Structure 1
Amino acid sequence: MALWAKAQQLVGDALQQVQAIYGEHFPIEVRHFLAPWIEEKVLQFRAAEVDPDNPQHEQFASNLLMSLVHELQMRANSLSPEEHFITKIKLMDAATNFQQRYSLHPINLLRIMQHCLNTEIKLVTQAENAGLDLGGGTNTVATEILQQIEIIRGRTQETAEELRRMEQEQESFALQYHECTKVNAHITHLQNQPQPNPQNGELDKKLKRQKEILEQTLSQKVTGLMQQRIRLQDKLRATLNLISTVQSRILDEELIRWKRDQQLAGNGAKFHNNLDAIQEWCESLAEINWMNRQQIKDAERLKQKLPLDNQGVADILYQLNQQITQLLSSLVTSTFVIEKQPPQVMKTNTRFTATVRLLVGGKLNVHMTPPHVKATIISEQQANALLKNEKAGKGDASGEILNNTGVMEYQVATRQLAVSFRNMQLKKIKRAEKKGTESVMDEKFSLLFSSQFSVGSGELMFQVWTLSLPVVVIVHGNQEPHAWATVTWDNAFAEPGRSPFVVPDKVPWPFVAEALNIKFCSQTGRALSDDSLRFLAEKAFRSTNVNDFTNMSLTWSQFCKEPLPERNFTFWEWFYAVMKLTREHLKGPWVDGCILGFVRKKQAEEILSGCATGTFLLRFSDSELGGVTIAWIGTHEDSKHNEVFMLQPFTSKDFSIRSLADRISDLHHLQSLYPDICKQQAFSKYYTPFTDNQSTTNNGYVKPMLVTQIPRLSGGNSLPPTPQAVFQPQSPENTSVVGDNVSSCAGAGDVDYSELLGVDLTSIDETLENFPDFIPPFVPK
């Protein structure tokens, strides 16, 4: 939909702003009646990079003024006086005023036209972003691209009409030339008569006059045909230049941006998938390219059918044919894309999927002979060689993939030509020789998808291929964290147009922080705070004495190679483990803001030291991978003074037995979540419900329930171990952990254990009170 058509649908203040930019200097009637012409001219000047502030471009503006006046006069004369009398007068007056106003400084006219259209684009875009349906794209880019495509389509239709007229003129010329040939033959016949004849003399004079008239007409027609050919060549060249500009914008900007966004989505960034819109643009370009290619071929056919003297004008049809064929080839090969990427961390002998799509396949009727697509895995070295068009890139694969071939299918409803690989499996991988500290998790591969097909009844043959995002191949789950480090770093910091798969070894911290934040937010549901990011910076740089990390750069080695001080794991391994723990077991409380998480032990102590007894917070462990600990302020059993305690960290293994919320519920001395939130308010919705029908199982046994307790803790609302806890089995992984005693109880507070066990527990209770470390010498059956 053209820009002016959308501008007319604006309402309220936006419509008033459009009306305000037009006036005596540029009447709105001119904008309305010459809308397609004006938008096309401004587009042409943009393509030629004409700058209104550059005095050297004065000639362009002068030509624009002359063309505008001419168009206004033609349009005014084409209007019916009865129906458009007033409009005709206004257009003629506008043509006169333009000549008077801008003849000395035509560059001002170009500046005004560009300002008007830029204002319209801004207002239309604002309206569309606000949800107003103006029949176009959702942003400025979409609006401009659709507008440019419509202009090119209009030019293509004009050249098609001109080509048709030229063919008619050439046919007319051929008929008259044939007539002239007959006259010449008749004259020759008369002149070859052996005896003169008065009648033949008169006829000869008549035929010679007819010949003279025909030759004059033919000469005029030759001149006209040559002018038509030159004009057609110039229009075709201008159209192809416009096509090249718009196609470059779509393929080199919009499609590349889509691919980059797809890569960032691999790190969890939000992905605005506008591939359907890009396909619509590319399909329009494919159709326009093909039509212009056919027009150039028709022009060459007409030229061969009637060779004429070029009169010193260069014949550029051959170059135009090469240019349009190259544009079409670039369009087809660039739109063979991976719509759904294979997994970037790929485990051998594990099924995976991928989807490949040809955006222009439906428009070029490629689906009439559905092409086959093959997937192979290649190394970084082979990918480099492939991009350099070296034979090494087309050699053996670096691995064996099962179910790696498929046929592209066309979906009529969506107009998509695509193939989905649903059951691929990597069976073998061939690795390169490692250097220095490199590991198999540093090595990058890529899936190469390739195909070939023809268009135009075999007229053009295309061999297309595309590479997936970098893939790290692992054989065991314990290789996964480092593999994701390689992938995350590559996705975040890969530069446009790089050689596969080069990434910087050092990156400014703000970019690293953004990548970590996106990754953590996508996995856990809540972004990291500024304090959390500063904590991560201190941990990554191994320093707490830096006020501002903005100008510091983090190396790949610091990120995932060098162990943290006094630890046997790296920064990334610690971060990855925390992220995995939060995603799998702590997501709800983390999203609610109940987990402070990224805070140092000393800082936690300082925070809690001024709080009321029973206040607690949750922080990720510094010493244990994927651990979260509870820090609280309570009363020490010896000194009776408040002290900050740290519970031994819980891990995924612990939470697979009993959830964090249930464990917090078990610990009665934990009363308020920092700063002052009731524990029940913060965590009750995550408690595991327990009903009476859960107390027994189908076979009649009493069902136990694990409860978290901290023995021998005085102060607060903590409870000492009960006799029930002594007699009930503890989980093996917790019985050896001091300060995290997880015991099981029947879960029913009214059970008479003396009757149940057949043992008098009174003496045992007294013994436990007098001797806290006493262990009963028996376990009742």
Structure 2
Amino acid sequence: MTQWIHMSQMIQCLSDETVNNLYPPSAFPIEVRHFLADWIESQRWDDFVMEKVEQESQARTLLDQTISMLQSMAQQNTNVVDRMKLMQISRNMAVFQQQPLQFAVMVRDILRKERVLLNAAPAQIPNPPQYQQYPGREPSFPIMQDVDHLVLKVLEVQDVRQKMHQLQEDLNWERQNYEGLQGTIQQNGLDAATSEIQKLQTHIQQLEYNVKAMATKRFQQLKECVDCLDQCQGRLINRLKAWRWEQHKATIGHPFDEDLNPLQTWCEQLLGVNGKLRQELMLIGEPIPELQERLGQLLQVLIQSSLVVDKQPPQVIKTQSKFSTTVRYLLGEKVAPGKPVVLKAQIINELQARNLGGVPGDNVGELINNTAILEHNTSSKSTCATFRNMSIKKIKRADRKGSESVTEEKFALLFSTEINITGCETPYRIQMISLPVVVIVHGSQDNNALATIIWDCAFSEADRVPFVVPERVPWRMMYSTLNSKFTAEVQTQHNLDQYNQHFLAQKIFDKPDFADDFSNMMVSWAQFNKEVLPGRPFTFWQWFEGVMELTKKHLKTYWSEGLIFGFIGKQHLHLILKDRPNGTFLLRFSDSEIGGITIAYVSATDNGGQKIQNIQPFTKRDLEIRSLGDRIRDISHITYLYPDFPKHEVFKKFYTEPQASPIGGYIPVSLHTKVGMEAGSATPPNPSMAPLTVHQFQQPFSPQESITQDIMDSAPPSVEFTEHIPPGNNMDLDLDTFLQTLDS
């Protein structure tokens, strides 16, 4: 019952239409296959041929046994529903009593179709849950159902060809008999044989008609198969493009299922079907140019489309630096043995990428270690060429116009080779380009180069001309990209919220007082990363990327738990803190410098009123010296995280425990964060900005002697605010109220 075990698992993945075509409910329902699986697979069904009438007795015996076993199982079955179902099936199968050979041939064909499906099915079929797809991705099963249908149609063509062959043999035999009988009559002058000759002539004419009808049917089936192959391959090519598109979008944090095995299986299936159809055309004995040409074109497209950049090179590449990339060939198992297949990589510019078709003319860059052999891995069943130590030695830039920067110029790697496929007479030249890359010569260019890649990945269209991107996009698209990139880079589930979104829009558009919806306002590439922000020496992307890096390396848990407000404007900040008790604070990302987080808190004025104090931002360097949690614990002026959470309850788990005991007789060293006034410093020029002083107790010269000194924090003397609401709590002032306040 081995075949049925696998087939029953595969059926879960087939459409109802495919299952009903395989097991006709009115003739041989699936219940018969299931309940009699062992017995069915032990019989010699493959021996039956419709034209061999001498097999009728044997076929009737098998039919009687089938009906008898179904009736016996029905009587023994305790489930009344199954019992009634089996009895009904046994009665229905009695219709074959007049044509038992038809029953035997039907079972033969069903078993053959099962074997074809099992041989063509992906290895994962026995375990359907492995086929879970990411949201938005077209499910695998429709394509698989197309292939199932196509395989069955090819099997029908082969059956018709075999029947035609049998009919032609019968026709040849009868013609020979006719010629012999005609010769005998002429020699002996026997008139009595005239009726026999007429019968023979009629039979021959009927056979000739049947052969012609079968030939017409065969041609029509072949055409239908080619049409079906064309449609199925078109869907597969679209799925390959979708895979590359998802790979492209993964750069900005979109989900991506990188598994290529199902696509490889489908490529192999379609190659096999193409080969079978070409064989059927050859066996016709006369050329059919239309179908032969279509199959040739389909074959060429499939062979050329099966080259995929599995692991993309870095999209920002520094010259003289090593990098790697992997190219996979989905028809690797079909590559003709013998001469190894060597892939060559070369770097091309945007103009060359637009004019692919032959070998690029000018060499715009020199690649080191730019060849790799296509090797098959039997365990993973993948065929890949891995470039492990590639490097760009030099690059030739295109002429730039206006304010264009070298970090805005996009290149790509072109992979190409010549390949021979088993069963194909001529070699095929195949090629594939990587995602666009930006080539830099110094690490200081990395941030701007990454901005070019982000804009390209986020806003390019699927079937664009390389590497065209819009100059302006709606803010809603820009914000979605920032959110996806931020959460993916920080590796958090905590998204930017509507308050963050509004502040980011105010910042990039330089509209701090704008209270309306920014969604449809167009943001330009220049606003994103060419023009510096007003009053700042950096662009919007440079500032945002700095915040992202700081959060990724030092604030991931704080952000993920909703303890950091994040992006908030000063006006909004004052509105939500102005009526809060002294000591209420929140955390926000620095607005004035790259990669800083600051504490804004409510404090008392000399006349008994309140003011908002903003502690100078903590940078990456500051948080490497002392964590944010410990700094919050150190500052006694801040007591409640907005809106009203005691800071020691919220941040306790982030506190570092003090050193338990002296080591080697020395008094242990500690760092302690204090705001400027606490340390006795002078009032800062801007009363809203409180500088920091870090008291550091130095290791003494001896156990009895110690030195204490005040060391001012090295961060720039600017101060900002930053914070986020813990999960499950809402701000007192919602965004709509805030916007109405601004508008009024």
Residues 1:633 and 2:598 aligned together: no
Is the 8 Å Cα contact of residues 459 and 469 (structure 2) preserved in structure 1? yes
Distance 1:211 1:406 in 2: 73
Provide the identity percentage: 34
1:688-727 alignment, distance < 5 Å: 688-692=656-660, 696=663, 704-713=669-678
Is the 8 Å Cα contact of residues 706 and 745 (structure 1) preserved in structure 2? yes
Residues 1:281 and 2:266 aligned together: yes
Distance 2:367 2:618 in 1: 41
The correspondence for 1:756, drawn from 696, 702, 705, is 705
Partner of 1:156: 154
Q: Deviations over 1:106-164 (max 9, x none)?
A: xxxxxxxxxxxxxxxxxxxxxxxxxx976895478323222221121111112112222
Distance 2:236 2:538 in 1: 45
Distance 1:597 1:330 in 2: 50
Partner of 1:292: 277
Is the 8 Å Cα contact of residues 79 and 88 (structure 1) preserved in structure 2? no
Deviation at 1:474, TM superposition (A): 1.2
CA gap 1:417/1:648 in 2 versus in 1, 3 angstroms: same
CA gap 1:752/1:569 in 2 versus in 1, 3 angstroms: closer
Q: Deviations over 1:647-679 (max 9, x none)?
A: 112222222332222222222222222122222
CA gap 1:688/1:420 in 2 versus in 1, 3 angstroms: farther
Q: Deviations over 1:234-255 (max 9, x none)?
A: 0011111111112211211x22
Is the 8 Å Cα contact of residues 335 and 360 (structure 1) preserved in structure 2? yes
Is the 8 Å Cα contact of residues 367 and 409 (structure 1) preserved in structure 2? no
Count residues in correspondence. 613
Deviation at 1:266, TM superposition (A): 0.9
Tell me, what secondary structure is at the counterpart of 1:756? Answer: coil
Residues 1:378 and 2:344 aligned together: no
Tell me, what secondary structure is at the counterpart of 1:346? Answer: strand
Partner of 2:518: 549
Q: Deviations over 1:212-240 (max 9, x none)?
A: 88777665544433322221110011111
Distance 1:448 1:559 in 2: 30
Partner of 2:637: 669
Residues 1:271 and 2:256 aligned together: yes
1:25-40 alignment, distance < 5 Å: 33=27
The correspondence for 1:594, drawn from 563, 587, 595, is 563
Deviation at 1:687, TM superposition (A): 3.1
The correspondence for 2:420, drawn from 449, 454, 458, is 454
Is the 8 Å Cα contact of residues 297 and 321 (structure 1) preserved in structure 2? no
CA gap 1:90/1:428 in 2 versus in 1, 3 angstroms: same
Partner of 2:370: 404
CA gap 1:261/1:234 in 2 versus in 1, 3 angstroms: same
Partner of 1:653: 621
Tell me, what secondary structure is at the counterpart of 2:523? Answer: strand
1:320-399 alignment, distance < 5 Å: 320-362=291-333, 364-366=334-336, 370-386=340-356, 389=357, 394-399=360-365
CA gap 1:397/1:165 in 2 versus in 1, 3 angstroms: farther
CA gap 1:265/1:754 in 2 versus in 1, 3 angstroms: closer
Deviation at 1:274, TM superposition (A): 4.3
Q: Deviations over 1:540-576 (max 9, x none)?
A: 2221314111222212222222222222222112111
Distance 2:423 2:149 in 1: 29
Tell me, what secondary structure is at the counterpart of 1:394? Answer: coil
Distance 1:595 1:425 in 2: 41
Residues 1:260 and 2:248 aligned together: no
Deviation at 1:82, TM superposition (A): 5.4
CA gap 1:296/1:640 in 2 versus in 1, 3 angstroms: same
Give the AA of the match of 1:553. Answer: M
TM-score of the aligned structures, taking structure 1 as reference length: 0.70
Distance 1:279 1:606 in 2: 59
Is the 8 Å Cα contact of residues 344 and 416 (structure 2) preserved in structure 1? yes
Distance 1:515 1:607 in 2: 28
Bigger RCO of structures 1 and 2 (CA < 8 A, at least 6 apart): 2
Greater Cα shift, 644-653 or 659-668: 659-668
Distance 1:404 1:441 in 2: 23
CA gap 1:137/1:574 in 2 versus in 1, 3 angstroms: closer
Residues 1:618 and 2:583 aligned together: no
Deviation at 1:645, TM superposition (A): 0.8
Residues 1:537 and 2:492 aligned together: no
1:138-153 alignment, distance < 5 Å: 138=132, 141-153=139-151
Distance 1:135 1:522 in 2: 26
Tell me, what secondary structure is at the counterpart of 2:548? Answer: helix
CA gap 1:659/1:320 in 2 versus in 1, 3 angstroms: same
Distance 1:604 1:258 in 2: 44
Is the 8 Å Cα contact of residues 373 and 450 (structure 1) preserved in structure 2? yes
Is the 8 Å Cα contact of residues 400 and 429 (structure 1) preserved in structure 2? yes
Give the AA of the match of 2:623. Answer: F
CA gap 1:651/1:136 in 2 versus in 1, 3 angstroms: closer
Unaligned runs of 5+ in 1: 11-17, 19-25, 37-77, 94-131, 188-198, 304-314, 714-718, 722-736, 766-781
Is the 8 Å Cα contact of residues 136 and 143 (structure 1) preserved in structure 2? no
Is the 8 Å Cα contact of residues 482 and 560 (structure 1) preserved in structure 2? yes
Q: Deviations over 1:13-71 (max 9, x none)?
A: xxxxx9xxxxxxx9xx97575889xxxxxxxxxxxxxxxxxxxxxxxxxxxxxxxxxxx
Residues 1:248 and 2:234 aligned together: yes
Tell me, what secondary structure is at the counterpart of 1:534? Answer: helix
CA gap 1:134/1:338 in 2 versus in 1, 3 angstroms: closer
Partner of 2:475: 509
Is the 8 Å Cα contact of residues 361 and 367 (structure 1) preserved in structure 2? no
Partner of 1:195: none
Tell me, what secondary structure is at the counterpart of 2:398? Answer: coil
Deviation at 1:168, TM superposition (A): 3.8
Is the 8 Å Cα contact of residues 258 and 274 (structure 1) preserved in structure 2? no
Distance 1:200 1:178 in 2: 16
C-alpha RMSD of matched pairs (Å): 4.2
Tell me, what secondary structure is at the counterpart of 2:140? Answer: helix
Residues 1:237 and 2:202 aligned together: no
Deviation at 1:280, TM superposition (A): 2.2
Distance 1:367 1:674 in 2: 70
Distance 1:642 1:629 in 2: 19
Deviation at 1:447, TM superposition (A): 1.0
Give the AA of the match of 2:552. Answer: R
CA gap 1:690/1:474 in 2 versus in 1, 3 angstroms: farther
Is the 8 Å Cα contact of residues 454 and 460 (structure 1) preserved in structure 2? yes
Greater Cα shift, 429-438 or 700-709: 700-709
The correspondence for 1:740, drawn from 672, 692, 700, is 692
The correspondence for 1:499, drawn from 465, 473, 476, is 465
Is the 8 Å Cα contact of residues 698 and 706 (structure 2) preserved in structure 1? no
Give the AA of the match of 1:225. Answer: V
CA gap 1:521/1:741 in 2 versus in 1, 3 angstroms: same
Give the AA of the match of 2:626. Answer: R
Q: Deviations over 1:234-289 (max 9, x none)?
A: 0011111111112211211x222211111111111121334222222222222222
Q: Deviations over 1:361-400 (max 9, x none)?
A: 22x24466542211111101000011xx3x5x62233212
Distance 1:488 1:92 in 2: 69
The correspondence for 2:537, drawn from 568, 572, 575, is 568
1:211-226 alignment, distance < 5 Å: 220-226=206-212
Distance 1:162 1:382 in 2: 50
Give the AA of the match of 2:210. Answer: G
Partner of 1:125: none
Q: Which has the larger radius of gyration?
A: 1
Deviation at 1:599, TM superposition (A): 0.7
Distance 1:620 1:261 in 2: 31
Is the 8 Å Cα contact of residues 710 and 740 (structure 1) preserved in structure 2? yes
Distance 1:576 1:553 in 2: 21
